[in-house]
């Protein structure tokens, strides 16, 4: 390690490292507001504002974590799980007559409650205990179902459907999307550029779209500085389906928090302590509450930070703190946000495609990490089949049910995970001696 957590690099090295952290953070965050704006039917000005909100609060949440939270230089970025839930529930809500903006209002409340849950569990030291409910079979089921539920929106976006109000596949856009995915793969296989693969792929795709005349002009703004606003979607609104989904997602993300901290501990050669886990939980709660108050997608520690440190051998906190202060500054400058908001959505979807294939990989790895006996196959297989099967049922089939029931039975992701929890911990609950026996056989 060239610079450890507690070391302070020279001024020039600090600035260059801070710029690199900013580039990685932007590349991890820029596609999310674009995708949400596309699905929720936001105007270009609203997308620019959501982009601005996202950049500011990503910087603020990350700054707080590295300053007084778990104290690792780890980006608090929009969670793929939350992004997926945002998209899925917008589709379900629209089919049952709920406006997308109302879904956003409900999500703000859901994120606030999930944040309060994280905060409380971290404060009471419960994070390690509760995450045991999400065994590899349960978390693996969740990841697999999330990847399956997201693939329709992602692939449709890459094919140009919905871009500039298109209702059919655009062969040209589809071809460029494939090229962007190929470029990202090439960059990932090149050690020097691996940390910036997504950013470079998006930049190349954006340039190609501009050359072909497929881009929208960058919207002009006369404002130099705009402060972040509260409750982007409007006044928080209670909805049982969204609240239940938010709390369940929060439970699943407990595992993500612990896993990300473990990976970062290995990358920085400083394993996390119990106190760090709890502080990380408290400030992940703060991040979620900031997301709820601002209306941006829920934020969690991103494991990509560990990959950056592994590549650069730079674990020092100071450059990261400078970079996150820079992210907050970007969030105050509407001209920068409007520029980023002009990124074509097919480019954003294609650039992030490989990143989100990792969700399926994580799920398969979790399931494969257990002995696939009859019990495990029944739990995982039944849960996944129920979840995917419900995804093929027309959402209009549930529209006459009460709101909570329509969200529960119309959401294959949520239903599949609930089935997995019941099968794992109630129907096929293992006795302690059975678990001990299996652990002994695996050693």
pLDDT at 131 over 90: no
pTM, whole model, 2 decimals? 0.71
Lowest-confidence pick of 5-14, 83-92, 131-140: 83-92
Residue 378 has a pLDDT of: 95
Q: What is the pLDDT of residues 204-215, one digit of tens each?
A: 999 999 999 888
pLDDT at 285 over 80: yes
Closest C-alpha to 345, from 190, 201, 154, 191? 154
Q: What is the 3-state secondary structure (H, E, C) of 385-429?
A: HHHHHHHCCCHHHHCCCCHHHHHHHHCHHHHHHHHHHHHHHHHCC
Residue 436 reports pLDDT greater than 60: no
Q: What is the pLDDT of residue 311?
A: 63
pLDDT digit string (tens) for 36-81?
Answer: 888 888 888 888 888 889 999 999 999 999 999 999 999 998 877 7
**pLDDT tens digit string along 97-110?**
677 788 889 889 99
pLDDT of residue 77: 86
Report the run of H or E that residue 265 belongs to, with start and end.
helix 240-268
Distance from chain centroid for Cα 358: 12
Domain ranges of the chain: 11-428
Is residue 301 over pLDDT 50?
yes
Nearest-angstrom CA–CA distance, 178 and 159:
9
pLDDT for residue 141 is more than 70: yes
Question: For residues 296 and 258, which has the higher predicted lDDT (pLDDT)?
Answer: 296
- Residue 440 pLDDT > 70: no
The answer to which of 78-87, 288-297, 366-375 has the lowest mean pLDDT is 78-87
Residue 443: the pLDDT is 38
- Rounded Cα–Cα distance for residues 286 and 280 (Å): 10
Mean pLDDT of 180-206: 82
pLDDT tens-digit series, residues 373-424? 999 999 999 999 999 999 888 867 876 777 667 667 777 877 888 899 899 9
What pLDDT score was predicted for residue 95?
65
Highest average pLDDT, of 157-171, 224-238, 370-384, comes from 370-384
pLDDT per residue over 323-355, tens digit each? 999 999 988 988 887 777 677 888 878 887 876
Can you tell me whether residue 237 is helix, strand or coil? coil
Listed in sequence order, the residues at least 6 apart from 9 whose beta carbon sits closer than 8 Å to its beta carbon are 3, 17, 314, 316, 318, 319
């Amino acid at each position: 390690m060239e610079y450890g957590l507690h070391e302070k690099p020279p001024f020039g090295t600090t600035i260059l490292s801070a710029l690199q952290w900013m580039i990685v953070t932007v590349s991890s965050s820029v596609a999310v507001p674009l995708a949400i704006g596309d699905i929720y039917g936001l105007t270009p000005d609203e997308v620019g504002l959501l982009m601005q909100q996202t950049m500011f609060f990503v910087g603020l949440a990350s700054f707080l974590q590295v300053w007084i939270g778990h104290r690792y230089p780890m980006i608090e970025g929009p969670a793929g799980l939350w992004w997926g839930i945002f998209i899925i529930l917008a589709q379900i809500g629209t089919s049952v007559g709920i406006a997308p903006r109302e879904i956003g209002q409900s999500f703000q409340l859901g994120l606030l409650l999930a944040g309060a849950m994280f905060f409380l569990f971290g404060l009471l030291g419960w994070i390690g205990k509760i995450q045991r409910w999400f065994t590899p079979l349960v978390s693996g089921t969740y990841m697999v179902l999330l990847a399956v539920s997201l693939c329709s929106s992602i692939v449709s976006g890459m094919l140009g459907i919905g871009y500039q109000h298109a209702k059919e596949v655009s062969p040209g856009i589809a071809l460029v999307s494939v090229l962007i995915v190929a470029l990202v793969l090439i960059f990932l296989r090149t050690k020097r550029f691996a940390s910036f693969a997504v950013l470079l792929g998006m930049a190349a795709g954006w340039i190609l779209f501009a050359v072909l005349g497929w881009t929208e002009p960058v919207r002009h703004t006369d404002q130099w500085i705009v402060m972040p606003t509260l409750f982007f979607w409007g006044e928080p609104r209670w909805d049982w389906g969204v609240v239940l989904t938010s709390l369940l997602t929060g439970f699943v993300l407990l595992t993500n928090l612990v896993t990300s901290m473990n990976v970062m501990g290995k990358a920085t050669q400083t394993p996390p302590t119990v106190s760090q886990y709890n502080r990380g939980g408290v400030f992940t709660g703060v991040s979620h509450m900031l997301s709820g108050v601002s209306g941006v997608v829920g934020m969690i520690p991103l494991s990509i930070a560990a990959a950056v440190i592994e590549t650069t051998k730079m674990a020092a906190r100071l450059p990261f703190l400078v970079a996150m202060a820079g992210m907050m500054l970007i969030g105050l400058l509407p001209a920068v946000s409007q520029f980023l908001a002009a990124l074509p959505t097919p480019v954003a979807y294609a650039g992030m495609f490989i990143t989100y294939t990792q969700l399926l990989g994580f799920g398969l790895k979790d399931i494969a990490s257990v002995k696939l006996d009859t019990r495990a196959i029944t739990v995982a297989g039944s849960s996944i089949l129920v979840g995917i099967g419900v995804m093929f049922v027309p959402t209009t089939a549930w529209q006459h049910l009460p709101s909570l029931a329509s969200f529960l039975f119309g959401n294959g992701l949520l239903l599949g995970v609930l089935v997995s929890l019941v099968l794992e911990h109630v129907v096929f609950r293992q006795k302690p001696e059975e678990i001990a026996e299996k652990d002994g056989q695996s050693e």
